Amino acid sequence: MIRTVAAFLVTLVAAGAWAMLSPGASIQPGQLLDGHASLHDDCLACHTVASGVEAAKCVKCHVVASIGLTQTNGTAHVVPRPAVQRLHAPLVNVECAVCHAEHAGRLGGGRAARFRHDALPSPLRDDCARCHEPQRPADEVHRASAAACGVCHATDGWKPARFEHASLPQGTACAPCHAAKAPSDELHAQNTSAPATDCGVCHTSNAWKPATFAHEKYFRFDRNHPPRCADCHEPGKGYKAYSCESCHPMSKIAGEHREEGMQDFKDCVKCHRSGNEHDAKRGGRDGGGREGGGKRRHEEEDDDR
């Protein structure tokens, strides 16, 4: 028993002496960064006995206001990193070891491999531009948006993003972002009834389809009136202007309407919201004139074409 205790005490004293004389070889868990190589045998330069690494010892060499701008000896970095300085400036009450790791052999390359956005104080965590403003894309969406990056992006990567149109200022035009996707069909190419950038007249910001435009508000298509824009709308004049004369000659229209005592018949869709004359309105009232006249003209509709 006495030999065992004596052997233990000898081992303990020897280990303690070795740790004191050569801590780098005896107790270090791994290689230090090159910048800290001179501290190889000076553990207490960073560590406090029974307390671990304390930020107070880090900032003796790494002055917070100069991080990213100058080296610990006061000379300027060849390539200054102002974003790094802006990140560290508010972190006077955050322990350095929360993000920074040393001893490459154990903690993964001696990099700041443990950095997490959620370790930052709330005001800084929400102020993405403090560090990432130089990375802000110059495209139309980002130029228009004044919203914080976190509205669309997560802290674990720029992509995928969850873009919301609501983050854009009221009245932001659609065309600058969506011009490349603008349809080339006749309806879109010639629609001058609204500003060319006002896609919201028919579309919502949730998706292009389904669109809210409903032609039946103005005129209902049928087998005799297919949805061919040029039949009623002259190319290049927009869709507020229309004419029925390509199929319904004015001479015949005039004669039939005057029979009913109507003189104002230029705005056809004011009364005729479809090709069925039974649907016609006269002066805001149902009916198309003398009894049976509407039916007769409906039957003759094909002759007008």
Which pLDDT does position 98 carry in this prediction?
77
- Would you list the domain boundaries of the chain? 42-134, 136-167, 175-213, 229-304
Q: Distance between CA 110 and CA 106 in Å, rounded?
A: 8
- Put residue 299 in one of left, alpha, beta given phi > 0 → left and psi -120 to 50 → alpha: alpha
Which pLDDT does position 64 carry in this prediction?
87
Asked if residues 33 and 104 have their Cβ atoms less than 8 Å apart, the reply is yes
Which pLDDT does position 290 carry in this prediction?
35
Which pLDDT does position 224 carry in this prediction?
87
Which pLDDT does position 10 carry in this prediction?
64
Asked if residues 68 and 131 have their Cβ atoms less than 8 Å apart, the reply is no
Kindly give the confidence (pLDDT) of every residue in the chain, 305 residues in length, as a single tens digit, with 9 standing for 90 and above: 777 767 767 677 666 665 555 555 555 666 777 778 788 778 888 888 877 788 888 888 888 888 889 988 889 988 888 888 888 888 877 788 777 877 754 544 545 456 778 878 777 777 888 888 888 888 888 888 877 888 888 888 888 888 888 888 877 778 778 877 778 776 676 654 444 456 877 888 888 888 877 788 888 888 888 888 888 888 777 777 888 888 888 888 888 888 888 888 888 888 888 888 777 775 444 433 333 333 434 443 443 43
Which pLDDT does position 44 carry in this prediction?
83
DSSP string, 169-223: PTT--SHHHHGGG---SHHHHH--SS-TT-GGGT--SS-SSS----GGGT---BT
